Amino acid sequence: MPTLVLFIVVAVTVITSVGSVVMIYNSLVQVRNNVDKAWKNIDVLLEQRHDEIPKLVETCAAYMQHERETLDNLTRLRTGYHQASDVAKKVEIENLINREMQHLNLVMEQYPDLKAIDAFGKVLDRVSALESAIADRREFFNDSINIYNIQIERFPSLIFARLLNYQRKEYLEVAQEKKGDVGMNFRR
The domain that holds 82 is classified in CATH as: 1.20.1440
Q: Quick check: is 65 in a domain?
A: yes
In this predicted structure, the answer to whether residue 183 has a pLDDT above a threshold of 60 is: no
Residue 186 pLDDT class (50, 70, 90 cuts): very low
CA-CA-CA-CA torsion sign (82, 87, 90, 94): positive
Q: Does residue 161 contact residue 32 with C-beta atoms inside 8 Å? A: no
DSSP H helical ranges for 154-181: 157-163
At residue 29, the pLDDT reads 92
Q: Quick check: is 22 in a domain?
A: no
Cα–Cα nearest to 43, from 123, 127, 125, 137: 137
Q: Quick check: is 138 in a domain?
A: yes
Q: Quick check: is 184 in a domain?
A: no
Task: Look up residue 116 and give its amino acid.
Answer: A
Question: What average pLDDT does range 157-174 have in this prediction?
Answer: 87
Q: Quick check: is 6 in a domain?
A: no
Residue 3 pLDDT class (50, 70, 90 cuts): confident
At residue 146, the pLDDT reads 93
At residue 61, the pLDDT reads 65
Q: How far apart are CA 97 and CA 87, in angstroms?
A: 15
At residue 185, the pLDDT reads 44
Is 64 or 83 the better-scoring residue by pLDDT? 83
If one counts the domains in the chain, the total is 1
Instruction: Give the domain range for residue 126.
Output: 38-167
Is 2 or 12 the better-scoring residue by pLDDT? 12
Q: Quick check: is 144 in a domain?
A: yes
Q: Does residue 94 contact residue 173 with C-beta atoms inside 8 Å? A: no
Q: What is the pLDDT of residues 143-163, one digit of tens each?
A: 999 999 999 999 999 998 999
Which of the residue ranges 53-67, 93-107, 154-168 has the most confident prediction, judged by mean pLDDT?
154-168
At residue 116, the pLDDT reads 57
Question: What average pLDDT does range 161-182 have in this prediction?
Answer: 74
Residue 65 pLDDT class (50, 70, 90 cuts): low
Q: Quick check: is 25 in a domain?
A: no
At residue 182, the pLDDT reads 42
Q: Quick check: is 183 in a domain?
A: no
Q: What is the mean pLDDT of the chain?
A: 80
